[in-house]
Structure 1
């Protein structure tokens, strides 16, 4: 599927402020960037950072006053495979070294505190893909999607107690349950087709059968309509903007549409 994605962000910085931004589509095996453009209305030159392993990209700069940050791209994510019940769970000795950190607890995902619950709830389910799908079913049945009940400090533990939250809360709890069952899991930021209202979307991935599988625990957007931006241990690693000092968001417009197929365009 080919997708048009764009982000138009306007911020106000009261003093010169260093920022790190992650809004560009990642270079990854399951998506190809056909064209893209990034521009900022004012500020010094950007320092560009690319992580070789994940293909994700960030930029650093210092901004002051009212600044617009804009990005648009056309991305082809092909035929992204969906996780099935037969995907095999690896023993730790089989995992690539770079996957190992995603077995461990992190700031928003205290998986060590969920081991007893996860074992009781999911131990009887066949391991691997079937077990992860059972976790997604549990989230859908027991957690409500509700705005305003969580904050930037909410952890998976709080979401488990409140049984409500938004996309990052669902993903944190899903990651926590997977890690508690010895399945590597990581947070992912993405552009998402059909998400209402349009926004940056927080989802997660699990490592099974020798690859990462993208999942949306909220079930609000199709996996095949997502464009991966960044990944990490939890939301602290995938923020679309991290600033040295407080800043004010004046506007944020995210759009994702399906691009017409070339054959359809020629026929029209």
Structure 2
């Protein structure tokens, strides 16, 4: 599947501000960037960062006044497969070194506090893929998608109590439950086809059967319609914009459409 994505971000800065942005499609094995363009307001040069392990790209610069950042790309996702129920769970001794941080609690995902619940609720299943699907089913049954219930500071623990939230809350709770089951899980920022209204989307992926598998805990977008941007322990690692001081967000416009092959 080929998708055309576009992000337009307009901010107001009172003074010269250091900015780090993560809005470019990742160069990962499951997606190919066919064409792209990036413009960032201001005359300061862009420092480009590339993570070879994940394929994610970010840039750093300094912006002042009103500045617009525009990114456009055509991305081919090929034939991205959904997570199979029979995907094998790994022993810790089998995992690649870079998977180990995603077994541990993080700022928004206190998985150590959920071990008893997760083990009682899901450990009766033998395969890792079956456990993750059971977690996704539990989220669908017990958590409502409701805007305005949560804030940027809401943790998975709070979402578990409120039983409501938006994509980042579903993702944090899903990651937390998977880590409590000894399954590496990490947050992913993405462009998402069919998401209404269009916006940056937070989902997660799990490491099973020797690879990472994307899942959308909100069930709002099919995995073949996902264009991954960045990954990390939780939302703190995958923010699309980080600034050195306060600024005024004036416009965020996202679009994801099918592209003609």
Instruction: Check whether TM > 0.5.
Output: yes
C-alpha separation in 1, matches of 2:103 and 2:256? 32
Q: After the TM superposition, which parts of structure 1 deviate over 4 Å for at least 4 consecutive aligned residues?
A: none
Q: What is the CA deviation profile of residues 60-118 of structure 1, one whole-angstrom value per residue up to 9, with x for unaligned ones?
A: 01111100000000000100010011100000000000111000000000000000000
The aligned counterpart of 1:37 is 37
User: RMSD across aligned C-alpha pairs, in angstroms?
Assistant: 0.6
The offset of 1:124, in angstroms, is 1.2
* TM-score of the superposed pair, with normalisation by structure 2: 0.99
Structure 1 residues without counterparts, runs of 5 or longer: 262-268
C-alpha separation in 2, matches of 1:180 and 1:253? 36
Q: 1:109, 1:175 within 8 Å by CA — same for their partners in 2?
A: yes
C-alpha separation in 2, matches of 1:230 and 1:41? 22
Q: What is the CA deviation profile of residues 6-30 of structure 1, one whole-angstrom value per residue up to 9, with x for unaligned ones?
A: 1011000111110110000000000
Q: 2:6, 2:256 within 8 Å by CA — same for their partners in 1?
A: yes
C-alpha separation in 2, matches of 1:157 and 1:41? 39
C-alpha separation in 1, matches of 2:59 and 2:22? 7
Question: For 1:157, what is the secondary structure of its paired residue?
Answer: helix
Distance 1:43 1:150, change over 3 A: farther
1:203 and 2:209 equivalent? Answer: no
The aligned counterpart of 1:71 is 71
Q: 1:43, 1:61 within 8 Å by CA — same for their partners in 2?
A: no
C-alpha separation in 1, matches of 2:123 and 2:132? 11
C-alpha separation in 2, matches of 1:149 and 1:59? 32
The aligned counterpart of 2:113 is 113
The offset of 1:40, in angstroms, is 1.5
Q: 2:22, 2:240 within 8 Å by CA — same for their partners in 1?
A: yes
Question: For 2:175, what is the secondary structure of its paired residue?
Answer: helix
Q: 2:41, 2:63 within 8 Å by CA — same for their partners in 1?
A: no
C-alpha separation in 1, matches of 2:146 and 2:247? 26
1:125 and 2:125 equivalent? Answer: yes
The offset of 1:43, in angstroms, is 3.5
Q: 1:203, 1:215 within 8 Å by CA — same for their partners in 2?
A: yes
Give the 5 Å matches for 1:1-268. 1-261=1-261
Q: 2:6, 2:254 within 8 Å by CA — same for their partners in 1?
A: yes
C-alpha separation in 2, matches of 1:120 and 1:221? 30
Name which of structure 1's ranges 41-50 and 187-196 shifts more when overlaid on structure 2.
Answer: 41-50
The offset of 1:249, in angstroms, is 0.8
C-alpha separation in 1, matches of 2:172 and 2:126? 23
Name which of structure 1's ranges 121-130 and 88-97 shifts more when overlaid on structure 2.
Answer: 121-130
The aligned counterpart of 1:265 is none
The offset of 1:42, in angstroms, is 1.7
C-alpha separation in 2, matches of 1:19 and 1:161? 35
